[in-house]
């Protein structure tokens, strides 16, 4: 019992908040590319923010529910339908056994998420259900979904009432043009860029390249150059690190990237701005703006605080709905 995969889609995987504390062993964090969307959907359903859910690229999967539950979809807008009836993002929906979920077209964004009440009950490795394609793991821990897969749901948990939706002010904006630059910290080798390239990194818009996946996204339109040769011993990198390969086209590392690398690290996208970046599709522009560690930490703290406040508001709303009238 759970969710039956009728069509797998292009790259549908089980994700959660990822594996923390394993980088010293060469194991990346992984997890949802758009961690903000994943957290928001789980909070909307009354789940822990780190509960497992599905991450979907377009074309999306076609799924049949084998048991009743409550679900919500968010992140990218792929025009979801339930038995042909259009659904909205960021809203709870009750589903019954036999109903089918499908996605018609990519209206906005690149990665969509499907969460269910209680979260997915798929296997875990090192404390996480996130798919890792490099560790030789079996089943959904080591590969994307395939047609015929059965995704178990958490059994015996109470389901929240359908109908609740996130207020518009709490939803991610996903600015996908260059009117709002993404904030970056100068990287450890930023000083190795020549003066023109240092200026270009912040003054010129780049575009999202077609050569991108869960590991990295290549940026096009601007070629950066080093002022002098840099030979690095492999050094630590993380999701958001911007490396500069020899061809001069920057590469932004994402959730499934390696833990160390030898290319110069010229900048790093701050955590709070990563959702805007990963939701941009090939050909869309991106512009960077320098910031400070203090501002990066403040932005991350503000985001965490808003998620805690939202979780409290959702819990209070559900409690009020279950209080019997007198």
Mean pLDDT (the chain, rounded) = 94
Cα dihedral value 86, 89, 90, 92, nearest 10: 20
Tell me the whole-structure pTM to 2 decimals.
Answer: 0.96
CA distances to 165, 248, 269 from 49, in Å: 16, 38, 22
pLDDT attached to residue 232: 84
Contact predicate 284/208, CB 8 Å: yes
Question: pLDDT (tens digit, 9 = 90+) per residue, 114-144?
Answer: 999 999 999 999 999 999 999 999 999 999 9
Question: pLDDT (tens digit, 9 = 90+) per residue, 306-315?
Answer: 999 999 999 9
Hunting for tokens 């897969």 — which residue is that?
149
- Out of 1.10.3430.10, 2.40.50.140, 2.40.100.10, 3.40.50.300, the CATH code matching 182-291 is 2.40.100.10
**pLDDT means per 10 residues in the chain (326 residues)?**
95 96 91 98 96 98 97 98 98 98 97 97 96 94 98 85 94 86 97 97 96 95 94 90 96 96 96 97 96 98 96 90 50
Pairing of strands 62-65, 285-286: unpaired
pLDDT attached to residue 283: 95
Distance CA 49, CA 311 (A): 9
Contact predicate 151/5, CB 8 Å: yes
Domain boundaries of the chain, sorted by first residue: 2-170, 182-291
């Amino acid at each position: 019992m759970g969710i039956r995969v009728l069509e797998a889609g292009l790259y549908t995987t089980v994700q959660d908040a990822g594996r923390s504390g394993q980088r010293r062993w060469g194991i990346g964090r992984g997890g949802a590319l758009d961690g903000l969307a994943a957290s928001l959907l789980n909070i909307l359903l009354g789940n822990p923010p780190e509960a497992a859910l599905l991450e979907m690229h377009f074309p999306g999967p076609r799924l049949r529910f084998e048991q009743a539950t409550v679900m919500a979809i968010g992140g990218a807008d792929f025009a979801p339908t339930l038995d042909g009836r259009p659904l909205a993002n960021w809203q709870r929906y009750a589903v019954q056994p036999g109903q089918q979920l499908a996605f018609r077209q990519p209206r906005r964004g690149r990665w969509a998420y499907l969460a269910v009440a209680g979260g997915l009950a798929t296997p875990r490795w090192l404390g996480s259900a996130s798919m890792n394609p490099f560790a030789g793991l079996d089943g959904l821990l080591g590969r994307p979904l395939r047609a015929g897969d059965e995704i178990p749901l958490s059994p015996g948990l109470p389901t929240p009432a359908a109908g609740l939706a996130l207020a518009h002010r709490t939803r991610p904006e996903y600015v996908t043009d260059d009117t709002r630059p993404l904030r970056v910290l100068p990287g450890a080798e930023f000083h190795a860029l020549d003066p023109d390239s240092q200026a270009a990194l912040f003054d010129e818009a780049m575009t999202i390249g077609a050569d991108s996946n869960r590991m990295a996204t290549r940026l096009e339109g601007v070629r950066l150059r080093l002022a002098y040769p840099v030979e690095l011993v492999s050094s630590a990198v993380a999701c958001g690190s911007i490396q500069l390969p020899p061809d001069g086209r920057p590469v932004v590392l994402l959730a499934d990237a390696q833990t160390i690398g030898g290319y110069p690290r010229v900048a790093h996208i701050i955590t709070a701005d990563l959702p805007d970046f990963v939701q941009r599709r090939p050909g869309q522009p991106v512009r960077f703006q320098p910031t400070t560690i203090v501002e990066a930490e403040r932005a991350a703290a503000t985001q965490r605080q808003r998620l805690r406040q939202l979780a409290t508001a959702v819990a209070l709303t559900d409690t009020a709905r279950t209080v019997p009238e007198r």
